[in-house]
Amino acid sequence: MRKVLSCLLVMLLFASCLPLAVTATAARQTGIPGDTDEDDKLTEVELAGAILLFMLEKEGRLELNELRDAAHVYVYWDGEPRTIVDSVDRTVRIYKPIKRVVCTFPHHIEALRTLKVSKDTIVGVPSRLDTVFFPEFADVTCIGFSTGPDLEAILEIDPDIVLLAGDLGSSAMGDPDEDQEQLEAAGETVIRFTFNQVETIPEEIEKLGYVFEKEDEAEEFIDWYENILNSIKGKTSEVSPENKPTVYSEYLPYAISTADDEIIALAGGKDVFEGKNGDINKEEVMFEKPDIIIRVVWGIFAAVGGYGPDADDTAALKEVRDDIMSREELQNVTAVKNESVYIITSHIWTYLPYSGNKALIGLCYLAKWFHHVLFPDTELDPKAIHQEYLTRFQGLDIDLDDKGVFVYPEKKG
């Protein structure tokens, strides 16, 4: 049987050189093409039978593109679907190679670019992309963004999978739970990843690499990423509680987020409002007298910082810092008295929707601000790490010596 199947596969490969225009559009698959007993295992006999039906032009045969997918699954996937558990603990099965994917967040595009997935595979992108960071996607169909994806537009594109965000909590950017339900009801395969938390990015990249058959690319990135992360954790984990600086982080005046807790802890700090979310009273900050204040600034594209401004154009970030330093109620707070107030843009933070996959870079800056003695420039250079990420993993021709503003001040005074 194997000899017969090998001959049939050769014939199929020859047939695959024919233009796809000769085949009709395949119906949406709910399992592996050719898996006639629907047990999620394509056997040698099933594939041979599917090839023979195609060659003999019998009724019920697979289309050529379906047959190609079946052969790929049999040869490269051992005849079984690829199965992962996504970021919201859903088990998702992929039954054929992915040729068309819709990304509903910029983070998804960035992760696929890290994996060197072909740009042609990405057939739908969120609107209002940062054209400096994503210059190659101007001609790709937009599927909405600000209040959630346009589901009708996605269905018209007819992708193999749709990438949705993980748990957004209370958000004005749509409801991914509801979007998932509607898309799956329409027959779409949905995977949910967010790629914005320091410690979960490697696992998400590994799973996405498996889905897209980019395991080597995923491993290369994860090795690089975890080497940096572990070098930081190895030192900050040994800092005694009394030597950890107390930190207050806000994204608007006296507005805080629990999304800051993990990154502050990893950098060896103690978030004075850990576990709290939303508005707080200025008196609470006055009472806590944090050692360090972090302000996260955010906005569409380069509204404040980002990859567009000249590298020395820190005026906007300086203005935000000056405002904090001049708040009358904070004059007796340790961070203001010691000028330990730092501004960081959401491009290298954990906040959606403008953060991307670069929270590790934000962590590098925090580690140096919190523990500059532990992390001299010779051991940890956030700007150099950022540059390597852009060049090596994103394939971007952006020189951070010339363009890009992300922190102010860059170093502890």
pLDDT in tens, 16-65: 444 433 333 333 557 999 999 999 999 999 999 999 999 998 888 999 99
**Quick one: pLDDT at residue 352?**
72
Q: Where are the domains of the chain?
A: 2-76, 82-213, 239-408
* Selection from 196-210, 302-316, 344-358 with the highest mean pLDDT: 196-210
Cα(99)–Cα(29) distance, integer angstroms: 14
CATH topology of domain 82-213: Rossmann fold (3.40.50)
Mean pLDDT of the chain: 90
Q: What is the pLDDT of residue 209?
A: 98
Neighbours of 394 (CB within 10 A): 17
What does the pLDDT average to over 241-248?
A: 97
Looking at per-residue pLDDT, the higher value among 133 and 300 belongs to 133
Q: Which residues contact 411 (CB under 8 A, 6 or more apart)?
A: 368, 372
82-213 and 239-408: same fold? yes
Band of pLDDT at residue 203, cut at 50, 70 and 90:
very high
Segment 377-400 mean pLDDT: 96
Q: What angle, rounded to 10 degrees, do the helices at 64-76 and 44-55 form?
A: 160
**CATH for the stretch 239-408:** 3.40.50.1980
SS (H, E, C) 182-210: HHHHCCCCEEECCCCCCCCHHHHHHHHHH
pTM over 0.85: yes
Average pLDDT over residues 366-378: 95
Instruction: Return d(Cα 218, Cα 210) in angstroms, integer.
Output: 8
Average pLDDT over residues 82-100: 97
Q: State mean pLDDT over 73-86.
A: 97
Q: Judge whether 295 and 343 are in contact, CB under 8 Å.
A: yes
The per-residue pLDDT for 3 is 47
